[in-house]
Structure 1
């Protein structure tokens, strides 16, 4: 394997222009308004849409939901703001996931189940309202319990063959393992991290890739959770690129730690992977948000990543966000590996993700040549739930249309 790279940029913080008072105020008002809407709908569907519960039940339910409304934004600010207190982040994130599920099923069942009960003539108004309320509570509780188990388990391996027309026969069968969005964070997951790395090692991959969002928090705070990444094995290389969350948590600290753990940074640079007389360009770019982070030398620079590479060689590109595929397609990239979307993480959030990204998960084609593989992610961000969006470790076996020569 040959290393071809540009001079590695260093992080240097620059002064950002001061934010206006209105802008700072809106940063707090918008989350509070959104939180109020998320809590108000379940409150109405569960307590005030015709159930006529005994007064103590109504008062207790209202108090509980109001407490959630008050605590969630306060905990989120305390947990993810300047103080970054892990216990507060856990409380705020859990409440966020819980109310999202309650809101979703309050809307769905509050409309469709109530309509079905009305059409079929089941009970009177009060009976139907209570059936909807119990259905919302039952389904939400079940999904949250299942979603928590899904988020905390070691991801299943998702295997698929990917044919690249320009891939030489000598590289046929190259095994590429992809992990991404590990999001080491407030919930201690060092043991989980070690088991993930053991799973990756069992794949006996030639190339292991991490496409960013390693953690939430600085490298110093999350070192114990990230340390098992140093045990990952690959016959050729272990490479990574930065995600947007690295730029929330002292990006240079993560670059330094990944270097210490033995991972090759593909920050707007590339490596040449050679086997059987054929060559694959393995390139990577910083996240698309890097330039706005205020760190000098950080940006998504595809031309720099490919500088010096033979344009006739196939290219495997690491880019954190799927939407970078527009630039990859223009450059004739053969395969882009991305994460970022989490597959939506908690259904039906994937519909909102789709507004920002061209793909949610899996293998998609873009333009005449470019393939994009989007991972649902290895860990989870924020709410410790995964509902109808399972985590994954991907194993992509690259295939050449040419038959390899028999030894």
Structure 2
């Protein structure tokens, strides 16, 4: 039954994409080019090639393609998906504008007043019997001129609107790409905890999520993140899942800069759903070699509070489900507890086990507007700090990007969470 539902959803999405591409081809290729011309042939070719690259980018990793091939198809394929989103939105907005311009534009005869006399025939020059009135009859209005050397007015409008929409889409994606490639900004949040002792007041946790090392974001991206984290001089570093999109063999060099993370109380790691797509155990072993401490349904009793971590929900596929009882069941509840959990949706388990603060990622803040509205349907909190009973949940927008290296309306961040004691 589950397979059938998935197949129906997949077919529905595929049908929608085919219809969108057909409509965009009509508006951006057929309406803007001459039949049989070079522009028509090139545009039609791109209408098939670009979606094929996008599909290749999405499936290459899962299909076990060589890493060089993944890198080759990922940049153009994923970038096309981002451009497609904003090009479709721009053309939807432009559609009523196009209809109005074509309906009201020049070339239609001006309406005549019902009382206006109909023009009489204009006699030929020198025709006998022509009256003075007939001689002065106005000549017919000249036809509307063609635009740009014979380009039809309809085609001119299509080119103008299509060009403006394409420029808006490419500009939006370009700016969003620049935001990812320049690296995440630092966000600072103060979180008061009732059980936190006075000695822990001002304790700083650098929260890093959703780095997504892969065929697009590599070693330079990791180095930017490490440098940014170290500049904040945190007391503890928490990497809360989705570190990678690939295996250790391909991405080990890209993860190497993580060895340079520095914090007085250490660096900790919990799995995200993407680790299980890649083989979570190999990454758990590898990050340990890099100096990070994996928390696999486990807890560390730090001098001033408890730090716990649970596996991601996706771990159920490998028999490594999140286990709150193992991580938190036997702890002293008079101590403050901070939980690292990739997905915000487990907040209700955290409340039940008396967690004071849960640190999560996963949502990317929506990553590409209006994706934030979809993220709200699946997550209790998309970004920022919210309270659930006696438990507070902080969700980072993440330091990287999945798929297209583009963020619009949800800039990447590394958050420094400063714990505050009521007793200070």
TM-score range, shorter chain: 0.7 to 0.9
Cα drift, residue 43 of structure 1:
2.7
Question: Which residue pairs with 1:10 in the alignment?
Answer: none
Question: Which residue pairs with 1:377 in the alignment?
Answer: 398
Cα drift, residue 59 of structure 1:
4.4
Question: Which residue pairs with 1:343 in the alignment?
Answer: 365
Matched, 1:262 2:247: no
Matched, 1:301 2:333: no
Structure 2 unaligned regions, length at least 5: 108-152
Question: Which residue pairs with 2:242 in the alignment?
Answer: 213
Cα drift, residue 131 of structure 1:
4.1
Q: What's the CA shift string for 1:316-369, capped at 9, x where partnerless?
A: 111101111122223332111111111111111122222211121111222x21
Cα drift, residue 264 of structure 1:
1.2
Answer 1 or 2: higher relative contact order, Cα 8 Å, separation at least 6.
1
Confirm or deny: 8 A CA contact 1:36 1:69 kept in the other structure: no
Question: Which residue pairs with 2:310 in the alignment?
Answer: 285
Q: What's the CA shift string for 1:104-160, capped at 9, x where partnerless?
A: 32223335x5588689x6778946654432221110111121121112111110112
Question: Which residue pairs with 1:88 in the alignment?
Answer: 73
Question: Which residue pairs with 1:352 in the alignment?
Answer: 374
Confirm or deny: 8 A CA contact 1:158 1:394 kept in the other structure: yes
Q: In terms of Rg, which structure is larger? A: 2
TM-score, normalised with respect to structure 2: 0.80
Question: Which residue pairs with 2:131 in the alignment?
Answer: none
Matched, 1:170 2:193: no
Question: Which residue pairs with 1:321 in the alignment?
Answer: 343
CA distance in 1 between counterparts of 2:58 and 2:52 reads 11
Confirm or deny: 8 A CA contact 1:41 1:106 kept in the other structure: no
CA distance in 2 between counterparts of 1:118 and 1:173 reads 63
Question: Which residue pairs with 2:333 in the alignment?
Answer: 311
Q: Could you say if the C-alpha distance between residues 118 and 256 of structure 1 is closer, same or farther in structure 2, counting changes exceeding 3 Å?
A: same
Q: What's the CA shift string for 1:248-268, capped at 9, x where partnerless?
A: 111111010011111111111
Confirm or deny: 8 A CA contact 2:201 2:421 kept in the other structure: yes
Q: Could you say if the C-alpha distance between residues 25 and 115 of structure 1 is closer, same or farther in structure 2, counting changes exceeding 3 Å?
A: closer
Say what the alpha-carbon RMSD is for the aligned residues: 2.7
Question: Which residue pairs with 1:70 in the alignment?
Answer: 52
Confirm or deny: 8 A CA contact 1:41 1:103 kept in the other structure: no
Q: Could you say if the C-alpha distance between residues 89 and 233 of structure 1 is closer, same or farther in structure 2, counting changes exceeding 3 Å?
A: same
Q: Map of 1:5-404 to 2, 5 A cutoff?
A: 29=11, 32-47=14-29, 51=31, 53-55=33-35, 56=37, 57-83=39-65, 85-86=69-70, 87-111=72-96, 113-114=97-98, 126=154, 129-187=158-216, 189-274=218-303, 279-291=304-316, 293=317, 295-296=318-319, 298-366=320-388, 368-403=389-424
Confirm or deny: 8 A CA contact 2:54 2:74 kept in the other structure: no
CA distance in 2 between counterparts of 1:286 and 1:240 reads 10
Q: Could you say if the C-alpha distance between residues 74 and 29 of structure 1 is closer, same or farther in structure 2, counting changes exceeding 3 Å?
A: farther
TM-score, normalised with respect to structure 1: 0.83
CA distance in 2 between counterparts of 1:201 and 1:25 reads 46
CA distance in 1 between counterparts of 2:347 and 2:264 reads 28
Confirm or deny: 8 A CA contact 2:217 2:405 kept in the other structure: no
